[in-house]
Amino acid sequence: MTNTKRRQPRRRVRAAIASLAAVVGIATLSFPAGAGAAEATLCGGKLELNNDIPGIDPPGGLSYKFDCNATVLGYGVLSNRQVDYFSTEVGVLDFTSGEATSEQFGCEGPFPSSGFGCRGVANFGNFINGEFAIGRDPCEAAKTKADKFKVWVVATVVQSDSVTNKPFTAVTQPFRLKGPACKTKSVRKETRR
């Protein structure tokens, strides 16, 4: 029984890896011939605890913020925790001033689930800034290394072929969002006990 419980996080991680492989597969299929000459898109961002989402009882609320070095037309947020809320409209902040732009995303998806998808537009480098909630405390100590709370973002971006200069869409690899920073004891200490 205990062994079965221990195996579950591993199974979930394996399932996550399989899902992400599928995502990468989709990305590969979307590349037109010759598109390999384009530069790789990089995305990055972080998670923060958010206990101030109106209507969401803490804990579980999170803010996410990320950007890519390309125009983003859509993105998916995926987690190894059950997602049971996401903000349906997501704003975009200018990467130089930090102020709100006229760009925006609308988000859709199932609950509870492993994530959600958003469509809209964010120009090169601008920050996509949204909220979601999971069913557990994000700072809950992980029982195993594999059980550690993780969130990835995969984006649909516009790239330009370096030979023909023609724009095309591509799906990025999954990028792990950093955080959230928790004030609780470190996971390693909890696990040793």
User: Which stretches of the chain bind other proteins, using CB under 8 A?
Assistant: 12, 15-16, 18-20, 22-23, 26, 30, 54-56, 71, 73-76, 78-80, 82, 84-92, 99-104, 106, 108-119, 121, 133, 154, 156, 158, 167-169, 171
Closer of 87 and 179 to other proteins (Cβ): 87
Which of 179, 167, 143 has the alpha carbon at shortest distance from 66? 179
Evaluate whether 86 touches 164 at the Cβ level (below 8 Å).
no
Strand partners, 112: none
Q: Which is nearer to other proteins, 117 or 125 (CB)?
A: 117
Q: Quick one: 2 or 102, whose CB is closer to other proteins?
A: 102
Evaluate whether 159 touches 27 at the Cβ level (below 8 Å).
no
Q: Which of 77, 57, 56 is nearest to 66 (CA)?
A: 77
Least CB distance to other proteins at residue 32 (A): 10
Task: Return the SS3 of 70.
Answer: coil
Rounded to the nearest whole angstrom, what is the least distance from the CB of residue 16 to other proteins in the complex? 6
Cβ distance to other proteins smaller for residue 95 or 168: 168
Q: What is the residue whose two structure tokens read 């001033």?
A: 97
